[in-house]
């Protein structure tokens, strides 16, 4: 019997319990006199192993263990957007109110405030026949976000009752549906979902629309699609978190789920302080209104770190099912993998590579596969894009987490230590990074920004790649021995690096619309093509290099996006100066 | 508390004692152990099981006998008594008075493990601490509430730098400023250096010391930084003081942890360190910050010596992944007589971006620092090239970079151990150095700043 279940051993975050026959694998349990939360991860006869979501200090043999009757779940409903919860779904605001500045143990707080009243609009009428995923009512979760209450996956039939438009509470029944067997089913504004179970969808679609991020190196060179998966690996201090914050701020997703998984408390605080005062560039509303934060900082219990990833992706799926494009950031998936490793070690499982359990790749795959663009059960189009940070020890990308992650993602933004040390940010390496979505999203950019988008991308990448070789030679013997055309490539590459790829996150350049990014790229490459002709015709490079306009070109990103006239003017002046140089230096019959 | 005393243990192995079936013992509980000759030691419970209880003895198990050892469980975790009177005191690595002044009277007992701060309760740190050291204030700005370690190597002047930071930071003058110092496996000389230097500068009466010296028990080192941080949190969040915590040497701490882990037969991760080294270090480094609505702050300045000067070694590597930046000392600069030998390119302050510039230090600070970084990085390329083809063969721009690099190291990085420079003075020096380079190279400052500061050189 449940009442007889008790603790028989405590080893850090892993507890062994006896007398757990009536409990289920993966059941959420309350352990000890304090009622600490844990989850059953293995069952052997009369015994169960429990991974603990709270610190086990002071826990004694013989203390009781109680089942909760269900798996670890998260309560889904209005009120999630704009909030911050811990790894197992408890709102930090409620913990703060109950317990003060420090997080203590054994606290029970409701996952959502059910007494809060919401503006609601009925979308069906009594008598309508509904099937799973149909829209029942819309709640105005924030001015930025309509929260759609859908028919659950196991309910269909005739609407008996629908909440009248107006106001309703979180605990209210939104609709009652009479099922085929004549059984009435009540649908509430909130519903619970087990975090380890992916929510179903009707069909997968190919991602072909970019997630526009406002970061030139990403949108321009290594784009990610809506519904795509990207990894951003890098040693400490190379810019994983800043890049993830940038994407959380500026990408054109409708909902952002940000998981701080085993990272710093201050980084979560920063988002909490900053996002409410930042405007979404597309709607002008505070960014916090579309953001959900999940905080399991590095000093919080390690098993809850393991769970936080699932809590996050479940919330993302919930909004996807409403037909939204959701972007999920996980910082850092390495800390999650390490949590797996630590628990696996305490369970005395046989380790595979570097102590990680053999199922590490499976877990990674399961997580990343929950991303994608889909047709929802209700027939809408929705997507989840995942951007996972990876923190390889010593910045070495051959370690297991990075290596396995690479198998399941299609977009790789490799952060480069020398670039970060030189404060070239974002330190995304243009030689090691790749995006398999580039071809798939090109038509979108060509239709929405410029028809030559793809051609310019190819040109820029070719110049950067060639310059890598040229720079190697320069490093060995200096540039004097190089022919002028190669020195021009080096010059253009430096314009690309300093004027285009480099983008500070903390100033006005933080968000760069793709149109502006394209305009800068076009300026640089147009300069290059013209200069190339001059150089081929024998014009000395020094004349070109000393043009005053080049300084302006490097600073072209400082021109506000709406001042397209100023950018065009700069382009015209560069062209004029070049043609003046050409006409002065090259004989009229020259090939230039 | 009348608690049962157990006599005799089943097994003694390494730093551990194993006892048979004992009920009512809590995980992580503090244990009082008395050997046959009557000398007490302390330990803590690291595993409880129906069949066995495992106790880790802080001062080691040497001299304990299976039958003569007496054990008393305290019913509570390791605690420290805190009261305003801890200021000015010296404790040992386990929190026992080491200054002969008797116990802390009327203190409130606190669990040394602390509890995580709710991120909603934190206030994001933004207050600039002026250390008077150019390379720090300008390029790796220290912020009140930050955790900023010094990555050093044996024989480098990290102690001197830490003392200079502690004495020159403008906080130092303030009434409500305290330094909490945790010496973890350090030499007596180093301990004496810190105490005498801080005392000389008038910091002696707001100093709290926790000392575990190199000849003290190794396992105690697991507790020392936690005691210091508990004291610091009390001073900061209960008494509203601004506290600077110096933890040195974190390498000794991590080695003690490894020793324990190996003794327990745990599956090792990199270089024999336990897989939980990251979480363990984080449980200490995260105990820094500012709490909303409070008055005080905890700023951490951990010091660690990188084994073989290797920054990818697990100790500096994991530390770097947790702390809010790092100050890396360079053996090469030190050999050239440059003090403080801070390598700016490897160093970083993550909190500086929000604590500098308009309204904080000076408007042009972000631009200048970014440009100095870029220029110094470019200088390394120029030097490498000059090393190959000779200084006479490199082009005009590279020559300028060489001159810049030299001046930057000798006048900007280098300064006296008691020299205290205002941030404005440091930034002006920065502009002076930047102006040695052609305008086309100045890609990190804005056109506007170029016009204002470089004047004639800037293009119209
Ligand atoms: N786009 C950017 N613009 C300006 N500065 C940046 C940018 N990206 C990174 N940085 C700088 O690099 C620092 C480190 O970045 P960040 O905190 O994102 O590193 P990280 O890779 O997340 O490190 P860790 O793994 O230790 O968490 C930042 O504090 C900031 O100073
Ligand atoms: Mg980070």
- The pLDDT of residue B327 is 97
Q: Residue A480: is its pLDDT beyond 90? A: no
- The pLDDT of residue B204 is 67
Task: Identify whether residues B115 and B72 lie together within a single domain.
Answer: no
Residue A370 CA to residue A142 CA, distance in Å, equals 26
pLDDT-derived band at B417, boundaries 50, 70, 90: very high
Task: Identify whether residues B227 and B97 lie together within a single domain.
Answer: yes
Query: Does any domain span residue B46?
Result: yes
Q: Is A101 within 8 Å of B117 when comparing Cβ atoms?
A: yes
Task: Identify whether residues B56 and B84 lie together within a single domain.
Answer: no
- The pLDDT of residue A86 is 93
pLDDT-derived band at A19, boundaries 50, 70, 90: very high
Task: List all residues 6 or more positions away from A506 whose beta carbon is below 8 Å from its beta carbon.
Answer: B353, B354, B366
Query: Does any domain span residue B360?
Result: no
Percent of chain A scored above 70 by pLDDT? 98
**Lookup: tokens for A264:** 């710093």
- For the range B375-382, what are the long-range contacts, defined as Cβ-Cβ under 8 Å and sequence gap of 24 or more? B375/B401, B375/B404, B375/B408, B375/B433, B375/B434, B375/B437, B375/B441, B376/B344, B376/B345, B376/B404, B376/B405, B376/B408, B377/A421, B377/A422, B377/A423, B377/B345, B378/A422, B378/B441, B379/B404, B379/B405, B379/B408, B380/B345, B380/B405, B381/A475
User: What mean pLDDT do residues B393-405 have?
Assistant: 93
Task: Identify whether residues B244 and B282 lie together within a single domain.
Answer: yes
pLDDT, mean over chain B: 90
Touching A: B residues 397-416, CB under 8 Å: none
Task: Please indicate whether residue A333, judged by its CB atom, sits closer than 6 Å to ligand 1.
Answer: no
Q: Residue B460: is its pLDDT beyond 50? A: no
Q: Which residues of B touch A524 (CB under 8 A)?
A: none
Closest CA to B127 of B288, B409, B361, B330: B361
Per-residue pLDDT tens digits for A558-578:
999 999 999 999 999 999 999
Query: Does any domain span residue B197?
Result: yes
- The pLDDT of residue B456 is 45
Q: Residue A206: is its pLDDT beyond 60? A: yes
Task: Identify whether residues B335 and B387 lie together within a single domain.
Answer: no
Residue B352 CA to residue B25 CA, distance in Å, equals 47
User: Could you give phi then psi for residue B244, rounded to 5 degrees?
Assistant: -105, 120
Task: Identify whether residues B43 and B170 lie together within a single domain.
Answer: no
DSSP three-state, residue A15: strand
User: What mean pLDDT do residues A470-479 have?
Assistant: 86
- The pLDDT of residue B1 is 43
Residue B18 at interface with chain A, using a CB cutoff of 8 Å: no
Q: Is A237 within 8 Å of B350 when comparing Cβ atoms?
A: yes
Query: Does any domain span residue B359?
Result: no
Q: Which of A8, A264, A355 sits opposite B49 (nearest CB)?
A: A8
CATH assignment of the domain containing B334: 3.40.50.12240
- The pLDDT of residue B264 is 84
Per-residue pLDDT tens digits for B239-255:
999 999 999 999 999 99
First and final C-alpha spacing in chain B: 81
Per-residue pLDDT tens digits for A294-328:
999 999 998 899 999 999 999 999 999 999 999 99
Cis peptide before A200 (omega within 30 of 0): no
Question: b/e per residue, A295-321, with b = 16+ CB within 10 A?
Answer: bbbbbbbbbbbbbbbbbbbbbbbbbbb
DSSP assignments along B7-38, one per residue:
E--SEEETTEEEE-S-SSPBTT-EEEEE-TTS
Residue B421 CA to residue A255 CA, distance in Å, equals 47
Cis peptide before A332 (omega within 30 of 0): yes
- The pLDDT of residue B170 is 59
ipTM for this prediction: 0.92
Task: Please indicate whether residue A264, judged by its CB atom, sits closer than 6 Å to ligand 1.
Answer: no
Give a three-class secondary structure readout of A434-473.
EECCHHHHHHHHHHHCCCCHHHHHHHHHHHHHHHHHHHHH
Task: Please indicate whether residue A425, judged by its CB atom, sits closer than 6 Å to ligand 1.
Answer: yes
Identify the domain boundary among B304, B319, B354.
B354
- The pLDDT of residue A566 is 94
Per-residue pLDDT tens digits for B284-314:
999 999 999 888 999 999 999 999 999 999 9
Task: Identify whether residues B296 and B325 lie together within a single domain.
Answer: yes
Task: Identify whether residues B331 and B207 lie together within a single domain.
Answer: yes
Could you tell me if A298 and B322 are in contact, meaning their C-beta atoms sit under 8 angstroms apart?
yes
Per-residue pLDDT tens digits for B124-143:
999 999 999 999 999 999 99
Query: How far, in Å, is the centroid of ligand 1 from the Cα of B291?
Result: 24
Task: Please indicate whether residue B354, judged by its CB atom, sits closer than 6 Å to ligand 1.
Answer: no
Q: Is A266 within 8 Å of B351 when comparing Cβ atoms?
A: yes
Identify the domain boundary among B305, B332, B354.
B354
Q: Is A558 within 8 Å of B446 when comparing Cβ atoms?
A: yes
Task: Identify whether residues B400 and B450 lie together within a single domain.
Answer: yes
Per-residue pLDDT tens digits for A90-128:
999 999 999 899 998 888 899 999 999 999 999 999 999
User: What mean pLDDT do residues A131-139 have?
Assistant: 96
Task: Please indicate whether residue B321, judged by its CB atom, sits closer than 6 Å to ligand 1.
Answer: yes
Percent of chain B scored above 90 by pLDDT? 66
User: What mean pLDDT do residues A49-62 have?
Assistant: 92
- The pLDDT of residue A281 is 83
pLDDT-derived band at B174, boundaries 50, 70, 90: low
Residue B126 at interface with chain A, using a CB cutoff of 8 Å: no
Q: Which of B279, B348, B443 sits opposite A302 (nearest CB)?
A: B279
Q: Is B374 within 8 Å of A423 when comparing Cβ atoms?
A: yes
The pTM for the full model equals 0.94
Return the best residue to mutate from A213, A232, A242, A262 for the ligand 1 pocket (most ligand atoms within 8 A of CB): A242
Residue with the bigger pLDDT between B230 and B450: it is B230
Q: Is A9 within 8 Å of B48 when comparing Cβ atoms?
A: yes
Query: Which atom of ligand 1 is closest in space to residue A505's alpha carbon?
Result: 3
Q: Which of B28, B118, B312 sits opposite A101 (nearest CB)?
A: B118
Could you tell me if A331 and A264 are in contact, meaning their C-beta atoms sit under 8 angstroms apart?
no
Q: Which of A298, A479, A548 sits opposite B279 (nearest CB)?
A: A298
Task: Identify whether residues B60 and B159 lie together within a single domain.
Answer: no
Number of domains in chain B: 3
Q: Which of B118, B317, B351 sits opposite A92 (nearest CB)?
A: B118
Q: Residue B2: is its pLDDT beyond 60? A: no
Residue of chain A nearest B369, judged by CA positions: A423
DSSP three-state, residue A234: coil
Domain range enclosing B64: 5-76
Per-residue pLDDT tens digits for B342-397:
999 999 999 999 899 988 899 999 999 999 999 999 999 999 989 888 888 888 99
User: What mean pLDDT do residues A43-49 have?
Assistant: 93
Query: Which atom of ligand 1 is closest in space to residue B322's alpha carbon?
Result: 26
Residue A260 CA to residue A240 CA, distance in Å, equals 12
User: What mean pLDDT do residues A378-394 have?
Assistant: 96
- The pLDDT of residue A3 is 53
Q: Among all ligands shown, which has an atom nearest to the Cα of B370? A: 1
Number of other residues whose CB lies within 10 A of the CB of residue B205: 10
Q: Residue A332: is its pLDDT beyond 60? A: yes
Task: Identify whether residues B427 and B306 lie together within a single domain.
Answer: no
Residue of chain A nearest B375, judged by CA positions: A422
pLDDT-derived band at B166, boundaries 50, 70, 90: confident
pLDDT, mean over chain A: 93
User: What mean pLDDT do residues A267-285 have?
Assistant: 89
- How much is the CA Rg of chain B, to the nearest whole Å? 25
- For the range B274-279, what are the long-range contacts, defined as Cβ-Cβ under 8 Å and sequence gap of 24 or more? B275/A338, B275/A341, B275/A342, B275/A345, B275/A355, B276/A12, B276/A302, B276/A342, B277/B314, B277/B315, B277/B318, B278/A262, B278/A298, B278/A335, B278/A338, B278/B318, B278/B321, B278/B322, B279/A262, B279/A298, B279/A299, B279/A302, B279/A338, B279/A342
Closest CA to A572 of A564, A562, A561: A564
Per-residue pLDDT tens digits for A391-423:
999 999 999 999 999 999 999 999 999 999 999
- The pLDDT of residue A64 is 95
Number of A/B CB contacts below 8 angstroms equals: 223
Q: Is B388 within 8 Å of A477 when comparing Cβ atoms?
A: yes
Task: Identify whether residues B154 and B214 lie together within a single domain.
Answer: yes
Identify the domain boundary among B56, B76, B96.
B76
Query: How far, in Å, is the centroid of ligand 1 from the Cα of B390?
Result: 36
Q: Residue A588: is its pLDDT beyond 80? A: no
Task: Please indicate whether residue A291, judged by its CB atom, sits closer than 6 Å to ligand 1.
Answer: no
pLDDT-derived band at B23, boundaries 50, 70, 90: confident
């Amino acid at each position: 019997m449940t009442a007889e279940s008790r603790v028989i051993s405590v080893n850090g975050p892993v507890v062994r319990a006896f007398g757990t026959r009536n409990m289920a694998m993966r059941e959420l349990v309350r352990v000890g006199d304090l009622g600490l939360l844990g989850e059953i991860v293995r069952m052997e006869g009369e015994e169960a192993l429990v991974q603990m979501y709270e610190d086990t200090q002071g826990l004694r043999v013989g203390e009781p263990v109680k089942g909760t009757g269900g798996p670890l779940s998260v309560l889904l409903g209005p009120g999630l957007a704009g909030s911050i919860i811990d790894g197992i779904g408890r709102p930090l605001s409620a913990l703060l109110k109950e317990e003060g500045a420090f997080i203590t143990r054994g606290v029970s707080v409701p996952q959502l405030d059910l007494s809060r009243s919401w503006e609601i609009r009925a979308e069906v009428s009594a008598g309508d026949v509904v099937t799973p995923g149909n829209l029942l009512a819309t709640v105005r979760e924030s001015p930025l976000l309509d929260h759609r209450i859908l028919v659950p996956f196991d309910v269909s039939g005739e609407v008996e009752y629908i909440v009248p438009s107006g106001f309703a509470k979180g605990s209210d029944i939104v609709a009652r549906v009479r099922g085929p067997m004549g059984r009435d089913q009540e649908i509430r504004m909130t519903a619970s979902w087990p975090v380890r179970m992916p929510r179903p969808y009707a069909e997968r679609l190919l991602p072909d629309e970019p997630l526009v991020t406002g970061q030139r190196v990403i949108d321009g060179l290594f784009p990610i699609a809506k519904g795509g998966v990207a990894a951003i690996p890098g040693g400490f201090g190379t810019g994983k978190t800043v890049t993830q914050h940038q994407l959380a701020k500026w990408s054109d997703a409708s909902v952002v789920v940000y998981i701080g998984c085993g990272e710093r408390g201050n980084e979560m605080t920063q988002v909490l302080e900053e996002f409410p005062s930042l405007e979404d560039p597309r709607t002008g509303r505070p960014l916090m209104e579309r953001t959900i934060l999940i905080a399991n900082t590095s000093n919080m219990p390690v098993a809850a770190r393991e769970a936080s990833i699932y809590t996050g992706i479940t919330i993302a799926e919930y909004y996807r099912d409403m037909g939204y494009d959701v972007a999920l950031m996980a910082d850092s998936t390495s800390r999650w993998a390490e949590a797996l490793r630590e628990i696996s070690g305490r369970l005395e499982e046989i380790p595979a590579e570097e102590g990680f359990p053999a199922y590490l790749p499976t877990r990674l795959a399961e997580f990343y596969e929950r991303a994608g663009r889909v047709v929802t059960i209700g027939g809408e189009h929705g997507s989840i894009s995942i951007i996972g940070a990876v923190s390889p020890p010593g910045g070495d990308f051959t370690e297991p987490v990075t290596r396995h992650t690479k198998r399941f993602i299609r977009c790789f933004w490799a952060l480069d230590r020398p670039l970060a040390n030189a404060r070239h940010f974002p330190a995304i390496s243009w030689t090691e990074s790749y995006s398999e979505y580039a071809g798939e999203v090109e038509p979108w950019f060509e239709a929405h920004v410029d028809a030559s988008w793809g051609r310019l991308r190819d040109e820029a990448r070719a110049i950067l790649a060639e310059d890598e070789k040229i720079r190697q030679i320069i490093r060995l013997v200096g540039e004097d021995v190089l022919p002028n055309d190669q020195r021009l490539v080096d010059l253009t590459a430096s314009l690309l690096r300093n004027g285009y790829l480099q983008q500070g996150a903390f100033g006005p350049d933080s968000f760069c619309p793709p149109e502006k990014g394209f305009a800068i790229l076009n300026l640089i490459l147009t300069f290059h093509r013209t200069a190339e002709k001059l150089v081929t015709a024998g014009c000395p490079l020094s004349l070109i290099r000393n043009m005053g306009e080049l300084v302006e070109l490097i600073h072209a990103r400082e021109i506000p996006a709406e001042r397209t006239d100023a950018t065009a003017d700069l382009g015209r002046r560069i062209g004029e100066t070049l043609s003046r140089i050409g006409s002065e230096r090259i004989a009229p019959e020259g090939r230039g | 508390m009348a608690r049962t005393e157990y006599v005799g243990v089943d097994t003694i192995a390494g730093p551990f004692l194993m006892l048979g079936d004992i009920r009512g013992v809590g995980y992580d509980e503090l244990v009082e152990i008395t050997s046959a000759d009557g000398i007490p030691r302390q330990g803590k419970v690291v595993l409880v099981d129906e069949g066995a209880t495992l106790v880790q003895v802080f001062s080691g198990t040497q001299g304990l006998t299976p039958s003569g050892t007496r054990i008393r469980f305290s019913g509570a975790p390791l605690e420290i008594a805190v009261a305003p009177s801890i200021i000015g005191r010296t404790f040992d690595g386990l929190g026992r008075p080491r200054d002969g002044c008797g116990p802390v009277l009327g203190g409130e007992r606190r669990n040394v493990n602390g509890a995580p701060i709710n991120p909603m309760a934190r206030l994001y740190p933004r207050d600039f601490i002026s250390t008077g050291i150019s390379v720090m204030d300008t390029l790796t700005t220290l912020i009140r509430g930050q955790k900023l370690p010094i990555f050093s190597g044996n024989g480098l002047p990290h102690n001197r730098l830490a003392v200079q930071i502690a004495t020159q930071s403008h906080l130092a003058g303030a009434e409500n400023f305290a330094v909490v110092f945790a010496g973890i496996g350090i030499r007596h000389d180093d301990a004496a250096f810190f105490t005498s230097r801080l005392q000389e500068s008038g910091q002696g009466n707001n100093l709290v010391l926790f000392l575990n010296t190199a000849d003290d028990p190794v396992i105690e080192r697991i507790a020392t930084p936690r005691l210091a941080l508990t004291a610091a949190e009390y001073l900061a969040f209960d008494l509203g003081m601004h506290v600077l915590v110096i933890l040195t040497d974190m390498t000794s701490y991590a080695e003690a942890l490894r020793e324990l882990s190996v003794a327990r037969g745990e599956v090792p991760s990199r270089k024999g360190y336990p897989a939980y080294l990251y979480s363990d270090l984080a449980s200490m480094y995260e105990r820094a910050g500012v709490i909303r609505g409070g008055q005080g702050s905890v700023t951490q300045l951990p010091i660690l010596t990188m084994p073989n000067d290797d920054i990818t070694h697990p100790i500096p590597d994991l530390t770097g992944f947790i702390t809010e930046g790092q100050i890396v000392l360079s053996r090469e600069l030190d050999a050239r007589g440059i003090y403080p030998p801070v390598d700016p390119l490897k160093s970083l302050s993550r909190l500086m971006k929000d604590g500098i510039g308009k309204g904080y230090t000076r408007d042009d600070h972000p631009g200048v620092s970014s440009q100095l970084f870029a220029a110094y990085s470019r200088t390394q390329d120029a030097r490498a090239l000059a090393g190959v083809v000779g200084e006479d063969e490199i082009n005009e721009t590279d020559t300028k970079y060489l001159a810049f690099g030299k001046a930057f190291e000798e006048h900007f990085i280098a300064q006296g151990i008691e020299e205290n420079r205002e941030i404005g003075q440091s930034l002006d020096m920065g502009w002076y150095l930047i102006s040695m380079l052609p305008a086309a190279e100045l890609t990190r400052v804005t056109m506007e700043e170029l016009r204002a500061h470089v004047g004639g050189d800037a293009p119209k």
